[in-house]
Structure 1
Amino acid sequence: MRDETALNVTLLAGGVGGAKMAEGLAALDDIALTIIGNVADDDAFHGLWVSPDIDTLTYSLAGMINRQQGWGLADEGTRALDILTMLGEDTWMMLGDKDFGLHIYRTMRRAKGDRPSEIARDVAKAFGVKPTILLPTDDQVQTKVRIDEGWISFQDYFVRRKCAPEVLELKFDGIKAARPTEEALSALAGADLIIVAPSNPLVSIAPILETPGIREALTSAPAPKIAVSPFIAGKVVKGPADRMMAALGLRADAVGVADRYADWLDCLVIDHQDEALSEEIASLGVKSQRSNILMKDLADKARLGRETVDFGREQLKEGRAA
């Protein structure tokens, strides 16, 4: 039975860091968790529509993720890719045999005209995922990265080129025409607490926020807004966020994150190693709380989830007192 004091928590998440935060929050029994995931990493491979961040959330929350990689399914094979390689196809995007099954299902459903949100919901249910996974939009939005050679897809930059080229510019194709899902807007409006995962601010969180209507819903939501920094002493645990932010002239540390979110963020959870940045963060109008934000295992994830929710409860109490 759900605890009467349970909070409705809405998490904005993308990538491995987002999935880790989702796992930690899902381990708590005093919250009802809804996750708005990133769809701008989506792309087509071998005629199939692949949604990497949503799948990583789903696999992680189902306890089926490949822990060593942080993405894909555990106990996976590559026989389908082996055949495609033999047939002369370019197979730099790693898709496992079981993974292909999900991509086939998603593509079939999309071809029938089913809403991507409904597909994601049905997939999560089939995988036994208890938190609600929502999409910010059912429209196609894709992150593009400009390098010396020109514009390329995010997956080309991230997987094929292993984040090696310097990033000169980012854009989200289709974002201006995208419409927010009613489910995402309702999740923000009805949240008791809104948390932003330690995901890449530029390519995981920004596409969610820049979906027309989402930022406005977030800003106007009465719930406290807390973000967890993806940086520890100026470095990220995984991914290219530090290099991307530096290349684009942004501060690649917790202050840089606070600056990007300052117009709506109440509190930023930073690592103990970044305590010296607290005053700079405060100068942006953002409170900070310190924790060990490195998530090595489920115990770490649950601890950080617990602490973040408790920070949120403190914000709620302060708001009521005011």
Structure 2
Amino acid sequence: MSSAPRIVVLAGGVGGSKFVVGVREAARRRWPDAAGGTRAEITVVVNTGDDLWLSGLRLQPDVDSMIYALAGVNDTARGWGRTGESERVAAELHAWGAGWPWFTLGDLDLGAHITRTGWLRDGATVTEVVDRLASRWPLGVRLLPMTDAEVDTHVTAAQGRMHFQEWWTRHRAAIPVQGFDWPGIERSVPAAGVLDALVAADVILLAPSNPVVSIGPVLTVPGIADAVRTASGSVVGVSPIIAGAPVRGMADACLAAVGISATADAVGRHYGPRVTGGLLDAWLIGEEDASLAADLGTDGLRAPVRALWMRDLDTSARLAADAFDVALGSE
């Protein structure tokens, strides 16, 4: 493609944010502009199923992870939150018996949560709030929430229903669950700009995010999966599973809960090829899973084998560039 493409990424979680940083860098290198950015238009549709209310504040973990990573202020050692963080306010909340003692809120992070909650209370939409938060730094991409509706992820376990964050953070996904749901999501609509971006996209990328609780909620918002399925641009997914294990986090526990094996081919079949009504034109799998490519091809899903580990900016950018090549037919 001679002109710079319009790229849409569906993403969530820390792995998704690392991939998006790679997408931005790869686009800068391939389609640079005079200001040091890129001529490519990059839109990221971010999962908001992880959102929650806590101590009167609205938290958006995936949105914040995406903003912090793109701004270069994320704590790469802990894997979440801001670098240089302190936790005095969290300690005081816990001393009062407020919040969740196992869910730490950093002081800088709390500044974002307070700001977000104030804007929401003043009547701003989630889309407007995300745009305002993202405008603090020159991120180089447009961030859109999947929906303006509150559709927080819940899990059903033998102990009862609980918010996803309790299962994920407090119990470390160790409690068996029967499934995940997003109350009210069937009545939600995509946030303004999401469907237009998908229709106009030359490239649509499914980040190597958790298929169940990061990409799953995005595709469950009515209209988004259909827009991906019928898009004129190429749709390429990147496997979050390498050699039978999640790249990051506890995606295997989520997959097991919905009856999907934690393997690259099983997740690829979960999304499915567009030629048979699924979502994907191609599914990038790791070099460690090269033996799975032929069977996926037999099922109608092209599975290029690439190096998937994102160890630093260069390897993340290389993975994104590989996805561009596959999507644009220049591999």
Match of 2:153, SS state, is strand
Instruction: Provide the residue aligned with 1:176 in structure 2.
Output: 186
Measure, in 2, the Cα distance between the counterparts of 1:237 and 1:206.
17
Residue 272 of structure 1, aligned match among 272, 287, 300: 287
SS in structure 1 at match of 2:42: strand
Letter in 1 for 2:22: G
Determine the structure 2 residue equivalent to 1:16: 14
The code of the aligned residue for 1:16 comes to V
Distance in 1 between residues matched to 2:12 and 2:299, nearest whole Å? 25
SS at match of 2:193: helix
Q: Give the counterpart of 1:150 among 136, 151, 160.
A: 160
Judge conservation of contact 1:10–1:195 (CA < 8 Å) in 2: yes
Q: For residue 80 of structure 1, what is the amino acid of its counterpart?
A: V
Instruction: Provide, for residues 1-34 of structure 1, a one-character-per-residue CA deviation record: whole Å limited to 9, x for no partner.
Output: xx96211110000101110110001112223211
AA aligned to 2:120 is R
1:48 is aligned with what amino acid? L
Q: What's the TM-score once normalised by structure 2's chain length?
A: 0.92
Moved over 3 A (4+): none
In structure 1, the partner of 2:135 is: 125
Partners of 2:222 and 2:181 in 1: CA distance: 15
Counterpart Cα distance in 1 of 2:44 and 2:94 = 36
Match of 2:262 in 1: 252
SS of residue in 2 equivalent to 1:17: helix
5 Å-filtered alignment, 1:22-171, equals 22-27=20-25, 28-29=27-28, 30=31, 31-89=40-98, 90-171=100-181
Q: Which consecutive unaligned segments of at least 5 residues does structure 2 have?
A: 32-39, 273-277
Alignment match of 1:195 (pick from 205, 209, 219): 205
- The whole-number CA distance in structure 1 between the counterparts of 2:251 and 2:93 is 32
Deviations 1:263-306 (CA, angstroms, capped at 9, x unpaired): 12110000000001112211321101111101111111111111
The Cα shift of 1:177 comes to 0.9
Q: Distance in 2 between matches of 1:4 and 1:93?
A: 48
Shift of 1:308: 1.0
The answer on whether the counterparts of 2:246 and 2:262 sit within 8 Å (CA) in structure 1 is no
Q: For residues 60 and 47 of structure 1, what CA distance do their matches in structure 2 show?
A: 26
Pick closer, same or farther for the CA change 1:4–1:126 going to 2, 3 Å.
farther
Q: Decide whether aligned partners of structure 1 residues 107 and 288 sit closer, same or farther in structure 2, where only a CA change above 3 A counts.
A: same
Contact 1:258-1:284 within 8 A present in 2 as well: no
Query: Could you tell me which amino acid in structure 2 is paired with residue 292 of structure 1?
Result: A
Determine helix, strand or coil for the equivalent of 1:195.
strand
Using the alignment, how far apart are the partners of 1:103 and 1:149 within structure 2? 30
Amino acid at match of 2:285: I
Residue in 2 that maps onto 1:300: 315
State whether residues 203 and 234 of structure 2, in contact with CA within 8 Å, keep that contact through their aligned partners in structure 1: yes
Aligned equivalents of 2:295 and 2:73: distance in 1? 40
Q: Distance in 1 between matches of 2:101 and 2:254?
A: 26
The whole-number CA distance in structure 1 between the counterparts of 2:147 and 2:18 is: 23
Give the alignment's Cα RMSD to 1 decimal: 1.4
Letter in 2 for 1:59: Y
SS of residue in 1 equivalent to 2:329: helix
Once the 2 structures are TM-superposed, how far is the Cα of residue 127 of structure 1 from its aligned partner?
2.5
* Aligned match of 1:320: none
Q: Aligned partner of 1:17: which letter? A: G
Deviations 1:27-69 (A, max 9, x none): 1222321100000100011110000001100000000000012
Contact 2:260 2:267 survives alignment (8 Å): no
Q: Distance in 2 between matches of 1:288 and 1:240?
A: 24
How far did 1:241 drift?
1.1
- What corresponds to 1:219 in structure 2? 229
For 2:97 and 2:202, the matched residues in 1 are separated by 52
Please tell me whether the aligned partners of residues 42 and 51 of structure 1 are also in contact (alpha carbons under 8 angstroms).
Answer: yes
Which of 282, 286, 289 is the matching residue for 2:297?
Answer: 282
* Conservation of the 8 A alpha-carbon contact between 2:213 and 2:254: no
TM-score normalised per structure 1: 0.94
Number of matched pairs: 314
Unaligned runs of 5+ in 1: 318-322
The aligned counterpart of 1:311 is: 326
Output the CA distance in 1 between the equivalents of 2:290 and 2:207.
Answer: 19
Give the CA deviation at 1:167.
2.2
Matched AA of 2:73: M
Q: CA deviation at 1:246?
A: 2.5
Counterpart amino acid of residue 168 in structure 1: Q
Letter in 1 for 2:281: D
% of aligned pairs identical?
Answer: 35
